[in-house]
């Protein structure tokens, strides 16, 4: 009992000492928030805007290889122009899921604000969600290190990033000339131009295909098809089920 009483007295005597180390104000115990260095805004290239439908349609209609039809309605866009934060240190770029889906506040280090154009569609009475993001293509920066200059940032190409059901992503690098050889992307898959593709009994010309490797035994989307100026025209699942715009 005497040892317990001594311990309590010792702790009570120590509390004022700890308070004095922080000062008389509790705010003195915390470091002030950091302030990053803003290096400017990054614009999208004028030709990139043509890869998304303009104006965006109010709804998208798809039919699958079994004859089932789905309608997706457009989610109203934000009232103000959209932009996201990109840190200016190569090798420290966040993933597309972080920078595009869940953009963070300004970091403590130097950063840019990059413009992003979003078109979002949600299924009518079914669990189907499509989000198109026109954004900077960070594929070539993953292995680089050091401060990213404004001049270098201005040379970044653009990419259409499709987010399917808030879980699967597909990337279509924006290019002036069609790329007929598979092109790796920062999203873990490859994109390639196809002269034509047939999906659910419909033929589409001049499309880009993004292919991802299906993991696990569960049925999941495997290929996405985008036509510049029209948007997503179809997709397929790992069980060979096909969906096409109509």
Report pLDDT digits (tens) over 141-179. Answer: 654 556 777 888 888 899 999 999 988 889 999 999 999
- Amino acid 161: pLDDT: 92
DSSP code string of 63-106: EETTS-EEEEEEEPPPSSPPEEEEESEET-PPPHIIIIIS----
pLDDT at 95 over 80: no
**Which residue, among 39, 36, 184, 52, has the nearest Cα to 116 in the 3D structure?**
52
- Amino acid 160: pLDDT: 95
SS3 call for 12 = helix
pLDDT at 104 over 80: no
- Amino acid 8: pLDDT: 47
Residue 75 near residue 93 (C-beta atoms within 8 A): no
Kindly report the average pLDDT of the chain as a whole number.
82
- Amino acid 21: pLDDT: 45
Report residue 205's pLDDT band, with 50, 70 and 90 as the boundaries.
very high
Residue 175 near residue 160 (C-beta atoms within 8 A): no
pTM of the model: 0.80
Token pair in block for residue 165: 């059901």
Token pair in block for residue 9: 């007295």
pLDDT at 97 over 80: no
pLDDT at 206 over 90: yes
Report pLDDT digits (tens) over 20-57. Answer: 444 455 555 655 567 778 889 999 999 999 999 989 99
Report residue 106's pLDDT band, with 50, 70 and 90 as the boundaries.
low
How far is 210 from 207, CA to CA, in rounded Å? 10
Q: Is the dihedral of CA 19, 24, 26, 27 positive or negative?
A: negative
Conformation bin of residue 231: beta by default, left when phi > 0, alpha when psi is -120 to 50? left
Report pLDDT digits (tens) over 107-116. Answer: 677 888 889 9
pLDDT at 188 over 60: yes
- Amino acid 9: pLDDT: 47
- Amino acid 131: pLDDT: 93
């Amino acid at each position: 009992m005497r040892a317990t009483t001594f311990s309590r007295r010792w702790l009570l005597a120590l509390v004022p000492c700890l308070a004095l180390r922080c000062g008389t104000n509790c705010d003195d115990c915390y470091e002030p928030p950091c302030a990053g260095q803003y290096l400017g805004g990054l614009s999208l290239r004028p030709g990139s805007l043509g890869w998304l439908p303009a104006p965006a349609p109010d709804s998208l209609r798809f039919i699958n290889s079994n004859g089932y039809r789905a309608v997706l309605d457009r989610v109203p866009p934000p009232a103000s122009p959209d932009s996201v934060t990109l840190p200016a240190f190569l090798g420290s770029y966040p993933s597309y899921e972080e920078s595009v889906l869940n953009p963070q506040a300004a970091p403590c280090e130097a950063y840019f604000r990059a413009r992003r154009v979003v078109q979002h569609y949600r299924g009518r009475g079914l669990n189907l969600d499509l989000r198109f993001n026109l954004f900077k293509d960070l594929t070539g920066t993953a292995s680089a290190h050091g401060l990213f200059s404004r001049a270098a940032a201005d040379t970044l190409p653009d990419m259409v990033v499709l987010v399917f059901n808030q879980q699967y992503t597909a990337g279509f690098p924006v290019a002036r000339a069609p790329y007929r050889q598979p092109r790796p992307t920062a999203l873990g898959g490859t994109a390639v131009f196809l002269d034509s593709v047939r999906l659910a009994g419909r033929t589409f010309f001049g499309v880009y295909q993004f292919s991802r490797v299906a993991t696990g035994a569960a049925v999941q989307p495997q290929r996405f098809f985008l036509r510049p100026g029209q948007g997503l025209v179809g997709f397929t699942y790992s069980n060979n089920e096909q969906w096409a715009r109509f």
